[in-house]
Amino acid sequence: MKKFFEKIIRQKNHLQYSGPYKNWDEAKLKSVGYSSDVVLKKVNNAIKNVLDEKYAYERDGTNFADLPLQNTLINTLKKIDLKNKTVLDIGGGLGSLYINYKEIFFGNIDRYIVLEQDNFCNRGNELATKYDLPIVFNENIEEVDKFDIAIMSSSLQYFEEWHKFVEKLISRFPKYVLIDRHPLTDRKSEIFIQLNTNYYEEEVTYPIHILNEKDFLAAFNGYEVIKSWNSDFDPQYFKGFLLKILD
């Protein structure tokens, strides 16, 4: 396991880790800036640049002049019938997926809901009002009455009780669940601290699950894997899946 993560750290990616830790509480206690608004500030500035048409694309608080040449999550979404559907974007930041690819969603889907922390929801609703965005921000999945498609892109690994959240998610019976940029291993599940070295204007670290892939997929009881892929933006142990509810 040590050699595995030493290899990860050497890759050209801002993701670096310390650990493993015995439990989530220990990792959280040793994290710095766990609830810092510096993350929100970085994402807010980048997404405003897209809304103001200064850049074409935002990802993880970073702007890009052009859309990526390859985005398997988006290509997969294009093959799903989105007409009049409600999309729940879990951990969707300030709605960047919708904003980056609004031509896919606008005038097609019924509703686009972002499930996020309260500080992101507050800022997201402000942006939705200012820029007339048809995006609703919500803090609690239980307050979302119905959704057909759930998306989790680089988010579920940061949930302390990820398994319980998946139980809540699949109890609502969405037809499709799309997962992208999720770190997995063929070894045992462990808890680490993501270091984000030199990525924010101040030090920000927080706990992250690196889960066993078989255990992770087994949590989605009643769903089958239709498609799987390696992340287009991260090291190859980050995976993506299209899951469909069993008939």
Contacts 24+ apart (CB under 8 A), 25-30: 26/191, 27/191, 27/192, 27/193, 27/207, 28/160, 28/206, 28/207, 30/193
Mean pLDDT for all residues in the chain: 93
- Domain residues for the domain of 109 are 2-245
For position 36, what pLDDT does the model report? Answer: 76
For position 6, what pLDDT does the model report? Answer: 45
Of all helices (H) and strands (E), which one includes residue 148? none
For position 216, what pLDDT does the model report? Answer: 98
Chain centroid to CA 239: 12
Share of the chain above pLDDT 90, in %: 87
* pLDDT over 80 at 123, yes or no: yes
Share of the chain above pLDDT 70, in %: 94
Q: What is the 3-state secondary structure (H, E, C) of 216-231?
A: HHHCCCCEEEEEEEEC
Is the separation of the CB atoms in 207 and 192 below 8 Å? Answer: yes
Is the separation of the CB atoms in 181 and 153 below 8 Å? Answer: yes
For position 50, what pLDDT does the model report? Answer: 98
Is the separation of the CB atoms in 187 and 1 below 8 Å? Answer: yes
What backbone torsions phi and psi does residue 36 show, to the nearest 5 degrees? -65, 145
Is the separation of the CB atoms in 138 and 144 below 8 Å? Answer: yes
Q: Rounded to an integer, what distance in angstroms lies between the CA atom of residue 55 and that of residue 185?
A: 35
**What would the DSSP string read from start to end of 13-82?**
SS--EEEEESSHHHHHHT-SSTT-THHHHHHHHHHHHHHTTS-SEEETTEEESS--S--HHHHHHHTS--
CATH assignment at residue 168: 3.40.50.150
What is the model's pTM?
0.92
Q: Rounded to an integer, what distance in angstroms lies between the CA atom of residue 19 and that of residue 28?
A: 12
Q: Which of these ranges, 36-45, 173-182, 197-206, 208-217, has the smallest mean pLDDT?
A: 197-206
Whether the upstream peptide bond of residue 20 has omega within 30° of 0, thus cis, is: yes
Place of tokens 């799903």: 80
For position 202, what pLDDT does the model report? Answer: 86
Instruction: pLDDT band for 34, please (50, 70, 90 cuts).
Output: low
As for how many domains the chain has, the answer is 1
